[in-house]
Amino acid sequence: MIFPTEIHAMQLPEWITSERWGEHTLLRVNTTWSTFCISLYGAHALSYVPCGQKDLLWWSTRAFAQKGKPIRGGVPLCWPGFAENTEPFHGTARLQDWILVEAEMTEDYARLLLEPTLKHEVLQVSLEVLVSDRLVLRLHSQNLGSEVMELTQALHTYLQVSAWNDIALTGLDGCLFVDKLNAGSEGVQAGVLHPQEGIDRIYVHSGAVKVLDPGLNRVIWVRKAASGSTVVWHPAEKAATIADMDSAEAEHFICVEAANTHKDKVSLLPGDSWSLETVLSAEPLHV
């Protein structure tokens, strides 16, 4: 269950601007290193553009901009449940309003802290964002109840690429995976991953992934913390059946997600906390 909570939004500093997108409010953060955009609906990161580079995130032009529907693209917060055994699907965090409660600019980064306007009956959650020459998203959870709480979650990151079937993912070699498109069968990744058909895999993996993209001549690093699961997803031809996704546009993303799911569920003791983190950065593929 979720309940109203008394949280008050702060006044925006000059380096943050706000705008409307449909029924949602967007915040744009301007720094010397990069620009960043986040929707207050779902605390949903939508865009991260390092200076001199293309956006690292993909955001559907058909995304719904109305309350009650999740936003397609960017980094949806799947919390406090992830995947099929959750109600609503992928949890409540991405379907509620959040507010900005802290913002500071330092010599090293811009920092935001967002909290939901509705609270879970026992789990407290917040999103911390650090914007610089890399993007850090840190999803904090704490068990305020008197019983153990099981948590599954994901930072469901849509990365922008030249073509999803013309990239290579390194860092997963030798990792066990669960193939959700093949009745949950298990396999082991052999070498570099070259997606060529629809993919929905949960890798038992706690390290970094490099997305090598010759079409954009760049490497996207996906680093993470407090995550023993990495999800790789693309719907391939099924993109045409997804209402808020254009099949031509869908050629230009791959999801590489920091998660706690399947073999990596989190059991939070009373008073315990957990901070799931993903860190995105980019560099040239060929210098």
- The pLDDT value given to residue 87: 64
Q: Are 153 and 277 in contact (CB under 8 A)?
A: no
Select which of 44, 90, 120, 257 is catalytic. Answer: 257
pLDDT, position 3: 41
Amino acid 91: pLDDT: 86
**Phi-psi category of 180—alpha, beta or left, where left has phi over 0 and alpha has psi -120 to 50?**
alpha
Q: Which residues contact 150 (CB under 8 A, 6 or more apart)?
A: 265, 266, 267, 268
Longest dimension (CA), the chain: 55
pLDDT digits (tens, 9 = 90+) for 201-237: 999 999 999 999 999 999 999 999 999 999 999 999 9
Prediction pTM value:
0.95
The per-residue pLDDT for range 103-150, each reduced to its tens digit, is 999 999 999 999 999 888 899 999 999 999 999 999 999 999 999 999
Expressed in percent and rounded to 5, the helix, strand and coil fractions of the chain are 5, 50, 45
User: How confident is the model at residue 254, as a pLDDT?
Assistant: 99
Q: Give the least confident one: 5-19, 40-54, 159-173, 255-269.
A: 5-19
| Catalytic-labelled residue, pool 24, 90, 120, 156 | 156
What pLDDT shows up at residue 86?
66
HEC string of 54-83 equals: CCCECECCCCCCCCCCCCCECECEEECCCC
pLDDT for 7 beyond 80? no
Report how far Cα 134 is from the mean position of its chain's Cα atoms. 14
pLDDT at residue 90 in the model: 80
DSSP annotation of 187: E
pLDDT, tens digit, 9 for 90 and up, residues 40-91:
999 999 999 999 999 999 999 999 999 999 999 999 999 999 976 666 778 8
What pLDDT was estimated at residue 119? Answer: 84
Contact 142, 23 (CB under 8 A): no
- Asked about 150 being catalytic, the answer comes back as no
User: Average of pLDDT values for 162-188?
Assistant: 98
Question: What is the pLDDT, as a whole number, of residue 117?
Answer: 94
257 is catalytic: yes
Q: What dotted CATH number matches 2-284? A: 2.70.98.10
